[in-house]
Structure 1
Amino acid sequence: MKLATLRTPTGTAAVRVEDGKLVELGYRDVGELLRRGELSAAATMNGREYPLAGSDLAPVIPEPGKIVCVGLNYRTHILEMGRQLPEHPTLFAKYADALVGPYDDIALPPESGAVDWEGELALIIGATVRRARGETARAAIAGYTVMNDVTMRDFQYRTSQWLQGKTWEASTPLGPYLVTPEELSQDAWLRTFVDDVEVQAAPIADLVFDPVALVEYVSTITTLRPGDIIATGTPGGVGHARKPSTYLRAGATVRTRIDGVGEIVNRIVPETT
């Protein structure tokens, strides 16, 4: 099953994706549907229908309570950055204001000259859990989506703390869908393209800490609730690690695709202040 959050003339609406159409589910967005415990029921709900083609999709979870991101979690990326494999996940946070829709523009802020791409698989929490283990952690995953953790590298490396480079407003596309776990193959690949040139390609099996391990770890620290997001990290191929370093410029188009999950497509534009 695939769910999305659709922008309509009267606000947003949670919808189910099927047969080239979107079916309204009676909730403001997918996050609200999850908080009401209606994920399973969404498969049979019926409401107003819209064409999928040309739809204006919001971030699939527009207002998550938490966005927990994992750095250095693909073996290839860790090695290209000249680091050792970690014993524990490297965590940082984003705020909901960083999110944009799966096909929205990404604005280049005038303060940064080192804006980088980081395609990622993100998981969406569907149950309230604390110190979850094993099957409890697995069952807490409502589904998966695509994210690009667009990063301002010059701000990220101003200090040893990454937050200031990671949560710029309107910088992080999320979507297009929540795809329930049975639709994600462990053989799936993540690929990122800049102007149709493939810059990242890796199997999600290359993750050092897989989604279940991340739910276990993060829920040890804090309660995870429906609609919370954990971004699992980016593979090798980021612009900062290239020789010379390469960054996003106005006019570029970035696409991130994960087999079985979907694709986000974002144009890079100058920020208008």
Structure 2
Amino acid sequence: MQLMQFERSGEQRFGIRTEKGIIDCAEASGGKAPSSMEEVISGGDAALQTLRRLSGSDAASVPEPGIAYLPCVTKPEKILCVGLNYRNHTSEIKMEIPEYPVLFNKYNNALAAHRQRISLPNTAEQFDYEAELVIVIGKEARDIPKQEALSCVFGYAPGNDLSARDLQFRTHQWLLGKTCDGFAPVGPCITTADEIGDPQSLRIESRVNGELRQSGNTCDMIFDCATIVSYISQYMTLKPGDLIFTGTPCGVIQGMPEGKRRWLKAGDEVQVSIEKLGTLKNVMA
């Protein structure tokens, strides 16, 4: 299932995206279905079964032009990111393949939704995109073995690890350039893990104003999704709703020769597409 949060008539709603359209779960169930992503994730299998029945019903769909997408998860306890996690990306920026996952974080202020306009701060100039597969944690995980790690995953979504490179490399800490307002768009939906199967065989692409910039596959990850979840859980407890950005393939602006770098600017539309998950679109402002 593809699950989403949206605003309709000034109210936050929860829905299922189907081939026929978007099902407003509260409306279709008479208020008996979960009403937020957090409620679904915490509700486990019982909540998912309720939604599966709704998705297979003849419930009326909501016209997409009449809604505004909201962030897929509203208040994750943690937004964690893995840097330098694709072999071809480490090559393009002339970095060594890391021995351990390179972790950094974003905060909730960075969350943004599908189709949300993202204001670029006037304190930076070198704005870059990073198409990424985002893991959504579904169960509390502490010291989880690699072979069990994917059982803790609720689903996956396209994400864009937007970065202000001049802020990112101002110091040895990357944080400032990574967690500006709106710099973690995720969406349009979370696709539940049962529909994905192997997350290490998904095509991933990004486009700027329709021009293909990145084209890769999650099989090129240095540390796969199971390894990432297991590794993080050795040091901190992962909670339901936590988000993990898993790294980006080659093709980012930073990896281009200096004379050919054209940083993102107001008016540029960035699309992140991942096989089976859909396309995330955002316009810079």
**Normalized against structure 2, the TM-score is what?**
0.89
SS of the residue corresponding to residue 256 of structure 1 reads strand
CA distance in 2, matches of 1:49, 1:170: 32
In structure 1, C-alpha distance between the alignment counterparts of 2:148 and 2:201, rounded to whole Å: 23
Is the 8 Å Cα contact of residues 16 and 43 (structure 1) preserved in structure 2? no
User: Higher helix proportion, which one?
Assistant: 2
Amino acid across the alignment from 2:234: T
Q: Who is 2:262 aligned against?
A: 246
Report the RMSD for the aligned CA atoms in angstroms: 1.8
**Amino acid paired to 2:188:** P
| 1:123 aligned partner | 135
Which amino acid in structure 1 is aligned with residue 36 of structure 2?
Answer: D
Taking the TM superposition and a 5 Å limit, the aligned residue runs for 1:129-168 are 129-168=141-180
> Which consecutive residues of structure 1, in runs of 5 or more, have no partner in the other structure?
none
Give, in whole Å, the separation in 2 of the partners of 1:115 and 1:49: 41
- Residue type of the partner of 2:202? A
Q: Distance in 2 between matches of 1:43 and 1:96?
A: 29
Please give the secondary structure, in 2, of the residue aligned with 1:247. Answer: coil
Q: Residue 122 of structure 2 aligns to which amino acid in structure 1?
A: P
Q: Are 1:5 and 2:14 an aligned pair? A: no
The equivalences for 1:211-250 within 5 A come to 211-244=225-258, 245-250=261-266
- Report if aligned partners of 1:20, 1:51 keep a CA contact under 8 Å in 2: no
TM-score, normalising length: structure 1: 0.93
> Mapping of 1:150-229 within 5 angstroms?
150-184=162-196, 186-229=200-243
**Amino acid paired to 2:6:** L
Tell me the equivalent position of 1:32: 39
* Shift of residue 41, structure 1, vs aligned partner: 3.5
The one-letter code of the counterpart of 2:282 is N
Identity percentage over the alignment?
32
- Compute the displacement of 1:206 (Å): 0.5
Instruction: Output the amino acid matched with 2:12.
Output: T
Q: Distance in 2 between matches of 1:216 and 1:187?
A: 19
1:197-234 deviation per Cα after TM superposition (whole angstroms, max 9, x unaligned): 11111011101111111110111111111111111011
Matching residue of 1:51: 62
For structure 2, the 5+ residue unaligned runs are 26-32
- Could you tell me how far apart the structure 2 residues matched to 1:207 and 1:41 are? 35
Paired amino acid for 1:88: Y
Give the 3 Å change call, closer, same or farther, for CA 172–114 of structure 1 in structure 2. same
Cα distance in 2 for partners of 1:71, 1:59 equals: 22
Matched, 1:265 2:265: no
- Which residue type is aligned with residue 271 of structure 2? R
Deviation at 1:51, TM superposition (A): 2.4
Q: 1:39 is matched by which residue type in structure 2? A: L
Q: Bigger shift: 167-176 or 26-35? A: 26-35
CA contact (8 A) 2:133 2:245 kept: yes
| Whole-angstrom CA distance in 2 between matches of 1:110 and 1:246 | 17
**In 1, Cα distance between the equivalents of 2:125 and 2:38?**
34
Greater shift in the superposed pair: 38-47 or 120-129: 38-47
The residue aligned with 1:112 is 124
The amino acid of 1:214's aligned partner reads: I
Question: Can you list the C-alpha shifts for 1:92-116, whole angstroms capped at 9, x where unaligned?
Answer: 0111110111111111111110111
Corresponding residue for 2:30?
none
| Residue identity in the other structure for 1:242 | M
Q: Which residue of 1 aligns with 2:29?
A: none
C-alpha distance in 2 between matches for 1:194 and 1:10: 31
> What is the CA–CA distance in structure 1 between the aligned matches of 2:236 and 2:145, rounded to whole Å?
14
Return the alpha-carbon distance in structure 2 between the equivalents of residues 110 and 28 of structure 1.
37
SS of equivalent residue, structure 1 residue 165: helix
Distance 1:167 1:247 in 2: 18
